[in-house]
A and B are shown apart, each in its own frame.
Chain A
Amino acid sequence: MSNNENNEDKHYVAPFSKEVSFDELQDAPPSGKFRLSITGKLGVIVVAFWLFIAIFGQFLAPYEENDLPFPDDYSEFQKPRPGAWLGTDVDDRDILSRIMYGAGRTIGISLAGVLIAYVIGVTLGIGSSIAGSRIDQVLTQFFNILLAIPTIMFGLVVVAAVGSSIPVLIITAGAIFSPVVFRLSRALGMEIMVMDFVEAAKVRGEGYRWIIFKEIWPNAAMPLISDFGLRFIYVILFVSSLSFLGLGVQPPLADWGSMVRENLGALQYGESVIPILAPAIAIASLTVAINLIVDDVSAHAGGKLSGRL
């Protein structure tokens, strides 16, 4: 990748013990092209499918999300039948349409939430790792405070304070997960900063820009990408936990987490269990697919990622 021969030179300059030279083999930037395994490819296909539904689902859906497929029928949790291919939900609406509408909302909220967390966390985390001890201490302390507040409690208080709406959910999720991202990227930055090739670059007199973009970023990208996938799933779960407490995405809007919640009764007294299984499977398939990709990425990144989470 982007590392040049300078690094290689440096290794031979410094007097290393045997053990350290093994270490540097492993910590050196990953080399070679990134390849997906078969399971990884499967993951990409599933994620691509859901992204497609997320973007176009609402145009393809047979009904609008609050519409009734059978206006004269008052029975909920119906079995699949023509006109409602996955059956109807607790309020007699079409499950298929709601899954399709929900895809965009679920994925959109999580994506936006994670992006916010990443913009805040990565910028400050990497910045903090190279900025020196004073700023680093202040930022670390600040994010430690945020980290110490239990997520659900934080979400609960915020959403109760300003009312639940999609922007609020996104920003809350972003705020909740940014400390974790900060911690991860700071740790990555710190680790890379003390690596020999970076010290070499410093000795050579390279500027911060060089160090960030040529040294830290290539090394941190892979671990960050795989963490991004996991975080994404946690945001879906976080929003669905809020839905459980009545604070998530509000009716009649559909999102997968709240669909599982509102159709929980189907397991107890429903004619069909599809109303609850469909959104649960949607969440699970997306999660598993993302994880399959993440596994490939983190294997490529040297398998060290998880230790830092």
Chain B
Amino acid sequence: MFRIILTKIAAGLLTTLGVSIVIFLGTNALPGDAAQIRLGQAATEDSLRALREELGLNLPLYQQYFRWLFNFLQGEFGTSLASGNVTIAQLISDRYENTLIVSTLTAMIGVPISVGLGIMAAMFPGTIYDRFLTLGSVTLVAAPEFFTATLMVLFVVFFLGIGNAVVVGSIEDKNLAELITHFILPIATLCLVIAAQLIRMTRAAVLNVMNSPYIEMAILKGIPRRRVVMRHALLNAIGPIVNVIAINLAYVVTGVIVIEVYFGYAGLATLIVQGVQTRDYILIQTLGMIFCATYVILMMIADLASILSNPRLRHPK
């Protein structure tokens, strides 16, 4: 079993290395370079050449790659190409708090509620409650995020008159009440977005276990349905549920571009969009690596959880 865990970790590292190559080559394929973007309409031959040399854009590709990878491993993310004098570490540290607070709170609020709702739906399959939840979550899946967000703003801010339409200012300056009013909308919207998938998946995972023979046995033995779900089914459904949670958490950290743009706060996902817009290769590469590492780690945890919870996977044939 120790071997399995080590294999998983090794595979994770290998994935991360592969990702680094894909990301590096991908970002270099972008048209226009950082020097052009930075000078914009004002670019002239001379000023372009000067800036390119300063940024190291004239080196061969593989040299740029190794230089970057080596520095990255040492935690030296380098300087943002687009800004010239701001380090990437600085850019990230200006933003990670927003991302952290939104993703943590979404995870703390959204995940338990959605999983709970999903389990309840599985407990009473076919009832009105179940149908309402499944249909509701399907409709939510269908709505583009920015549409959900707009409806939320209209309802919460303009109709109820509470909360802020955008996040203004920095976290340090805010007391708890202000934190809540500023972040309530992005968090609520995100909770809705992930709830849709989580409810469906949890329900399906639990129902799936509920169909197994040993549960049928338990039900036949006369154990109350609630107890069957909580004591027997849930434990066995942990693997797939954790997996879905991990995917959704990775999404909350890396995929919330639309939410961040819409609620006007600076987070890591927006930073990558801005990186693409300014052709800031190093920024895209660094963030890409961070995002992928987040994903790999979360998936590793999910894998380990399902291995631990499933004896059959613990001892593969």
Cβ-based interface call for B171 (8 A): no
B255 A151 Cβ-Cβ under 8 A: yes
CB neighbours (8 Å) of B257 from chain A are 152-153, 156, 241, 245
B201 A309 Cβ-Cβ under 8 A: yes
Cβ-based interface call for B214 (8 A): yes
B26 A158 Cβ-Cβ under 8 A: yes
The chain A residue with its CB closest to the CB of B205 is A307
Contacts known (A19-B213, A156-B276, A161-B29); A241 close to B23, Cβ less than 8 A: no
Number of interface residues of B (CB under 8 A): 62
Q: B211 contacts which of A260, A268, A302 (Cβ < 8 Å)?
A: A302
Cβ-based interface call for B22 (8 A): yes
Number of interface residues of A (CB under 8 A): 54
Cβ-based interface call for B43 (8 A): no
The chain B residue with its CB closest to the CB of A258 is B144
A264 B146 Cβ-Cβ under 8 A: yes
A52–B10 Cα gap in the complex (Å)? Answer: 51
CB neighbours (8 Å) of A25 from chain B are 213
Interface residues of B in 101-154 (CB under 8 A from A): 134-135, 138-139, 141-147, 150-151, 154
B204 A148 Cβ-Cβ under 8 A: no
The chain B residue with its CB closest to the CB of A304 is B208
CB neighbours (8 Å) of A22 from chain B are 212-214, 216
Cβ-based interface call for A284 (8 A): yes
A26 B212 Cβ-Cβ under 8 A: yes
A267 B30 Cβ-Cβ under 8 A: no
The chain B residue with its CB closest to the CB of A283 is B142
B139 A288 Cβ-Cβ under 8 A: yes
Which one of A4-12, A72-80, A118-126, A139-147 is at the B interface? A139-147
Cβ-based interface call for B261 (8 A): yes
Which one of B67-75, B91-99, B288-296 is at the A interface? B288-296
Distance in angstroms from B55 CB to nearest chain A CB is 19
A144 B15 Cβ-Cβ under 8 A: yes
Contacts known (A149-B19, A156-B272, A309-B201); A244 close to B146, Cβ less than 8 A: yes
Cβ-based interface call for B258 (8 A): yes
Q: A148 contacts which of B143, B208, B292 (Cβ < 8 Å)?
A: B292
Q: A156 contacts which of B201, B211, B213, B273 (Cβ < 8 Å)?
A: B273
CB neighbours (8 Å) of B147 from chain A are 260, 264, 276, 280
Distance in angstroms from A57 CB to nearest chain B CB is 20
CB neighbours (8 Å) of A268 from chain B are 154
Interface residues of A in 1-44 (CB under 8 A from B): 19, 22-23, 25-26
CB neighbours (8 Å) of B296 from chain A are 148
Cβ-based interface call for B254 (8 A): yes
A306 B205 Cβ-Cβ under 8 A: yes
Cβ-based interface call for B224 (8 A): no
The chain A residue with its CB closest to the CB of B217 is A22
Q: A150 contacts which of B139, B145, B291 (Cβ < 8 Å)?
A: B291
CB neighbours (8 Å) of A141 from chain B are 11, 14-15, 18
Q: B144 contacts which of A152, A241, A291 (Cβ < 8 Å)?
A: A241
Cβ-based interface call for A203 (8 A): no
The chain A residue with its CB closest to the CB of B253 is A150
CB neighbours (8 Å) of B141 from chain A are 233, 237, 287, 291
CB neighbours (8 Å) of B154 from chain A are 267-268
CB neighbours (8 Å) of A214 from chain B are none
Distance in angstroms from A306 CB to nearest chain B CB is 3
Secondary structure class of chain A's binding surface, majority of residues: helix
CB neighbours (8 Å) of A23 from chain B are 212-213
Cβ-based interface call for B31 (8 A): yes
Distance in angstroms from B228 CB to nearest chain A CB is 16
A261–B149 Cα gap in the complex (Å)? Answer: 12
B292 A161 Cβ-Cβ under 8 A: no
The chain A residue with its CB closest to the CB of B200 is A306
Cβ-based interface call for B284 (8 A): yes
The chain B residue with its CB closest to the CB of A282 is B142
Cβ-based interface call for A104 (8 A): no
Distance in angstroms from A267 CB to nearest chain B CB is 6
Distance in angstroms from A138 CB to nearest chain B CB is 11
Interface residues of A in 199-241 (CB under 8 A from B): 233, 237, 240-241
Taking beta carbons and an 8 Å cutoff, which residues of B are in contact with A? 11, 14-16, 18-19, 22-23, 26-27, 29-31, 134-135, 138-139, 141-147, 150-151, 154, 200-201, 203-205, 207-208, 211-214, 216, 237, 240, 244, 250-251, 254-255, 257-258, 261, 269, 272-273, 276-277, 284, 288, 291-292, 295-296, 299, 317
What 5 A-B pairs have minimum CB-CB distances, sorted nearest first?
A: A306-B204, A22-B213, A287-B142, A145-B18, A150-B254
Beyond contacts A26-B212, A141-B14, A240-B144: 8 other A-B pairs, Cβ-Cβ < 8 A, are A19-B213, A148-B16, A149-B292, A153-B254, A157-B27, A288-B139, A291-B138, A298-B204
Q: Can you list 30 A-B pairs with a CB-CB distance of less than 8 A?
A: A23-B212, A23-B213, A141-B18, A142-B18, A144-B15, A144-B18, A145-B18, A146-B22, A148-B15, A148-B295, A148-B299, A149-B23, A150-B250, A152-B269, A154-B26, A241-B257, A244-B145, A244-B261, A260-B146, A261-B146, A264-B147, A267-B150, A267-B154, A284-B139, A287-B142, A288-B139, A291-B141, A303-B211, A306-B205, A309-B244
